[in-house]
Amino acid sequence: MLKMKKVFIYSNGCYTNRIEAKGLERLFKGNGWTCSDRAKDADFILFETCAFNKEKEDECISTIARFAKEKNRGAQLIVCGCLPKINKKRLRDNFKGLCLDPSTLSSLGKLVPVKEGFQDISKSQYLFDDHYQGDALYIKISSGCMDRCAYCAVKNVFPKLVSRPKKEILEEFRRSLKDGNRNFCITAEDIGCYGLDIGTDLVGLLEDIVRLKGRYSIILRRLNPSCLKRIGRGLVDIIDSKRIRYICTPAQSGSDKVLRLMNRKYSVAEFRDFIKKARDGFSLLKIKTDFMVGFPGETEEDFRKSLDLVLESRFDKVLAFKFSKRTNTIAWGLKDCIPEEIKDARQRNIVLAHKLSVKTLTNS
């Protein structure tokens, strides 16, 4: 009897990264493979890397070294995901094996005995979601974006916007509803620019989705506020439908000066106005945001404005990231860098400000 091949698939990344990892898992299982829980038991190890900042990149390098040490003699380690595009030199300095980025991942089918299915791995998968405390169907509606944020290395991985046809997304949503799913998450590198390459937009897609009958709710992830000038009013109208339960939209800073330095295409006032109107439309709406601290040129006054935005907006969840220089980005050559200890302190203070805002809201 032939021994069944085993594959170990690991992701250290964002939801879109995890969609791809889950798609690979489904692909291998569908072709007769067994998915292992441990790298040392596998014939193939696929590492879906995330390297959007220096901290994640360092994590990738140490994980690659660990897997290389753990794997069986004869087993193959393949590095996938964003790192091969974001910092190819550092990866090659630390790993001599096969590397595949999202644009070349389908070539894996020539190297590993799987028959079919690579065209579907990056579209939609069921993933555990903290908000739902259970599985949700994550629908990736596009890849890439239209902006060029100064700090963003992911732009090098997905250089242009490629939107899925609206009809295809709607059919997928209908099928999942028919199968009994009630939890959905719409995601992409930036859902706010969906459709600009195919003559539609996010509002048009969501209008068609929320018209579908049934009991279900939707999370919107990675809504870049740069879309608010264009579709903010339409988004607020859709939120009034009560179908949208959770929005993830990254503020990044409470300072207009810093937003301009970051090459973010919106103002703090526009962001505030959207948050207020969205909550006015649906009081149970949950809002999560991200802040980046220590961007070159960020003064104490600029940072204070970010703290003020956290305190007054009372977000349901806040993540704070420290700026780190990434190769092949606009910010790579910027001067006026912030010392690491100041970035650490600002990151802690964003977290503390959010805890204070939640406590104040709870006691009010």
pLDDT score at 130: 78
Write phi, then psi, for 72 (nearest 5 degrees): -70, 155
pTM value is: 0.92
Given a contact cutoff of 8 angstroms between Cβ atoms, the answer to whether 196 and 163 are in contact is: yes
Give the chain's residues under pLDDT 70: 1-4, 113-122, 361-364
Superfamily for domain range 123-363: tm_1862 like domain (3.80.30.20)
Residue span(s) of the chain under CATH 3.40.50.12160 come to: 6-119
Given a contact cutoff of 8 angstroms between Cβ atoms, the answer to whether 186 and 139 are in contact is: yes
pLDDT score at 113: 65
> Helix (H, G, I), strand (E, B), or coil: what is residue 338?
coil
pLDDT score at 142: 96
Helix (H) or strand (E) holding 292: strand 286-293
Apex 214 CA angle, 165 and 245, nearest 5: 75
Helix (H) or strand (E) holding 272: helix 268-281
Residue span(s) of the chain under CATH 3.80.30.20 come to: 123-363
Helix (H) or strand (E) holding 247: strand 244-248
**Which CATH code is given to the segment(s) 6-119?**
3.40.50.12160
pLDDT score at 209: 98
- Write the DSSP assignment of 148-213 as a string of letters: --TT-SGGGTS-S-EEPPHHHHHHHHHHHHHTT--EEEEE-S-GGGTTTTTT--HHHHHHHHHTS-
